[in-house]
Structure 1
């Protein structure tokens, strides 16, 4: 966007099909920065003519590129290097060997293990107990029940009182979100999301072919009047939202705002999926208890205890759980018995709560560092958050590229944007740095880039 040229790829002459060569060319152009986020790719027929290909070949290539989350197409607008491509970079394996000095402040994960002995002790206790068959079988009834019981205990720390029967076990929050969307929506059905939404939410909707409608935000998250307006205009009956420590802005709804959103939900007979994966970092309660059975809460341990513990829960009323997983099997198929055993042990013995407390303390210290270095550039400063939303003097992609050139990776607003105008902001993940010293180094670089942008009058 904003550049006056039409990208023309160079196809490598090898043995693979031409459409795959074109996909590789698109991927390489994105990696090199020749195609930037928001840039429109040439129309398929025009590109086919230019390259001497059959139009069906370019069509197949664009479809494959979309399947790989390199590009995203919008009916009537064309194919763009959108959040789809950048979302994939947040989830793919980081190639640190290619950029050994890069400070990664782009990925939302817990602070690097503050208690590395916990896993070693847990594995040793499993061996001593003779639990050698955790990888030999699927989940049995007893372990599944234990997972739900410990999930209910974990959610009680968020002030949510549920029975084991009110929960479904799943392989993390992303799988939970996908399962709920797939169960409650038909392909092509509109879904409301925040105008700035987490990449995982956008990716799940795209994968399920659910068109998204962004709802405007302010400093506390969703605006009630905007939700009501979009619900009526779009006909959407389902909302996906993160009321507590919203990703990417870090905003938290206060009591009045949560009540106002709940009133809109009841008045318009909406359904709500609440992403509460960051909720345990805050004292703010979830939206879920105010929804009178019209809500589904998704939680996990991956953002607050350990990223590799792919264990999560879906809380909802019995009738909704029946719709989500009528045979109570699909949601927990991907749960590893070994991971679940460790998760249950950590919750039961208090290890998970201790690790959460350590994470909260570390996040608060890092958040204070961010306030010291970035100060007025922070757009949300009310509550300590593992990620911060930082105002940029001009184009967010330009600032992100400048940071990367100086050795720091941050995420521009376009990765999170759902329609609307470009937002001049980047997200910085405070917990991604391996230490406070590395975070300080990264924040110092971001500060310098911000100052350079301001000085240049950009």
Structure 2
């Protein structure tokens, strides 16, 4: 870190993130950082250089995209071309993708790259824990080790200063969203804002709390700040729910400058921001709203989208000033996660091999994404190899409802854009294709070919 700091001080021109990137390159070229060496955590380097974590994160992202660095959630960022050994344990994959003509692309299906065997081992270790773990209610401090393990899981996100006391374990990401809403919303009819196309779970959680849900317009970078401010003021909104890293369903990543504009709107109008980060499989590309809004930003994540959805474990991270509110909401609602499940979470998230398996899951999803892009790339397709779904805007001649029905008749099940819009909202003629890694590459490619045939032969031209 001393070498990077010294080289950073020598940079005299250009943006700060470029200066950080050049300092790291200089440390590599000069031999102070060798292949496989681990770089300082974003927060630590930002503190040393007296700059924002987002600036360091942007430098790391640039160098990662250039192949100078390699990043892995939970393990950190390394000089590229020779990774450190992950673990002496190698977990065999025992689930084989199936050949089938019926391909369901509603929800991402995670490949077994060894996590099933690892989970079997974790359950076996759980069975050997002391009897009192199965006979008593957990104490207030019983979840601290699991929360500490979650901090490692969250290293890929730029969250600002965070301690394990800021974290509450929940029954999946959806439960975490509900907990945050319960901690934040006040009054008989609070207003929750969502993106005009958004994860339906936001709306369902808000409706359970008798909140009114209002849609905010979007563009190619996410939420439109001017529209957000007008809607927040008109409705006296209390909460914005958003997914800036991997927007569900479109896959948009909101850039740092736009996030700062949105944070400014939240700051001026006093509403909270709930960030759903469940779909991110790699390092964050910009600071989270919790980092940008230390008193108003809430963060939600889980490992359902990259390890296993079956355990239903999620995490809610509160602003430090509101940690007691979040903890009280969980304790009053369900007394906290079952202690054996917390122990299992701690075991999984403290294993080095867990993060190596995540790399394999990301690589496996990427192979399916490439198949889809190679087949459908001639159309208006939004995708990223680190995102387990694609967003397809349909060509003239296709309405989304008709396309989904026709595709299902051909053995391919998709999600219509209407499912991500409010009931009174307008949805584009588009569909989301989730990656199903439980089917073979051959079956997946055949499904993409069938979709391509439909796209090439629309049933009608829609009058403009």
Match of 1:181 in 2: 181
Q: Indicate if the aligned counterparts of 2:148 and 2:164 stay in contact, CA closer than 8 A.
A: yes
SS of equivalent to 1:116 = helix
TM-score by length of 1: 0.72
Match of 2:457 in 1: 452
1:122 aligns with 2:110: no
Q: Deviations over 1:177-232 (max 9, x none)?
A: 11211232134211100101112112112222211111111222212122112212
SS of equivalent to 2:374 = helix
The CA deviation at 1:431 is 4.1
TM-score by length of 2: 0.71
Note closer, same or farther for the CA distance 1:115–1:401 as it changes in structure 2 (3 Å cut): same
Q: Deviations over 1:98-137 (max 9, x none)?
A: xx8531100134335554311222223334x355676555
The CA deviation at 1:259 is 1.4
Aligned with residue 410 of structure 1, among 411, 414, 428: 414
The CA deviation at 1:283 is 3.6
Match of 1:156 in 2: 155
Q: Indicate if the aligned counterparts of 1:215 and 1:222 stay in contact, CA closer than 8 A.
A: yes
For 1:115 and 1:169, the matched residues in 2 are separated by 21
Q: Indicate if the aligned counterparts of 1:249 and 1:379 stay in contact, CA closer than 8 A.
A: no
For 2:267 and 2:455, the matched residues in 1 are separated by 43
For 2:445 and 2:122, the matched residues in 1 are separated by 33
Aligned with residue 294 of structure 2, among 256, 271, 292: 292
Note closer, same or farther for the CA distance 1:402–1:187 as it changes in structure 2 (3 Å cut): farther
SS of equivalent to 2:444 = helix
Match of 1:442 in 2: 447
SS of equivalent to 2:427 = coil
Q: Indicate if the aligned counterparts of 2:169 and 2:336 stay in contact, CA closer than 8 A.
A: no
Q: Indicate if the aligned counterparts of 2:389 and 2:433 stay in contact, CA closer than 8 A.
A: yes
For 1:316 and 1:120, the matched residues in 2 are separated by 32
Match of 2:304 in 1: 302
1:399 aligns with 2:398: no
Match of 2:168 in 1: 168
For 2:329 and 2:433, the matched residues in 1 are separated by 41
Q: Indicate if the aligned counterparts of 2:192 and 2:240 stay in contact, CA closer than 8 A.
A: yes
Note closer, same or farther for the CA distance 1:126–1:183 as it changes in structure 2 (3 Å cut): closer
For 1:192 and 1:438, the matched residues in 2 are separated by 40
Deviates more, 1:110-119 or 1:311-320: 110-119
Note closer, same or farther for the CA distance 1:329–1:389 as it changes in structure 2 (3 Å cut): same
Q: Indicate if the aligned counterparts of 2:239 and 2:272 stay in contact, CA closer than 8 A.
A: yes
SS of equivalent to 1:325 = helix
For 1:198 and 1:119, the matched residues in 2 are separated by 29
For 1:358 and 1:336, the matched residues in 2 are separated by 29
Note closer, same or farther for the CA distance 1:443–1:287 as it changes in structure 2 (3 Å cut): farther
1:315 aligns with 2:320: no
Match of 1:356 in 2: 358
Q: Indicate if the aligned counterparts of 1:310 and 1:339 stay in contact, CA closer than 8 A.
A: no
For 2:130 and 2:450, the matched residues in 1 are separated by 49
Note closer, same or farther for the CA distance 1:140–1:311 as it changes in structure 2 (3 Å cut): farther
Aligned with residue 423 of structure 1, among 425, 428, 431: 428
Note closer, same or farther for the CA distance 1:447–1:134 as it changes in structure 2 (3 Å cut): farther
Note closer, same or farther for the CA distance 1:267–1:354 as it changes in structure 2 (3 Å cut): same
SS of equivalent to 1:281 = coil
Q: Indicate if the aligned counterparts of 1:192 and 1:239 stay in contact, CA closer than 8 A.
A: yes
Note closer, same or farther for the CA distance 1:379–1:222 as it changes in structure 2 (3 Å cut): farther
For 1:249 and 1:112, the matched residues in 2 are separated by 26
Q: Deviations over 1:360-409 (max 9, x none)?
A: 21222222222111114344246641111111233211111111111111
For 1:364 and 1:382, the matched residues in 2 are separated by 8
Q: Indicate if the aligned counterparts of 2:153 and 2:349 stay in contact, CA closer than 8 A.
A: yes
Give unmatched runs, 5+ long, in structure 2.
Answer: 1-99
For 1:272 and 1:210, the matched residues in 2 are separated by 15
Match of 1:236 in 2: 237
1:255 aligns with 2:242: no
Q: Indicate if the aligned counterparts of 2:412 and 2:447 stay in contact, CA closer than 8 A.
A: yes
Deviates more, 1:205-214 or 1:112-121: 112-121
SS of equivalent to 1:339 = helix
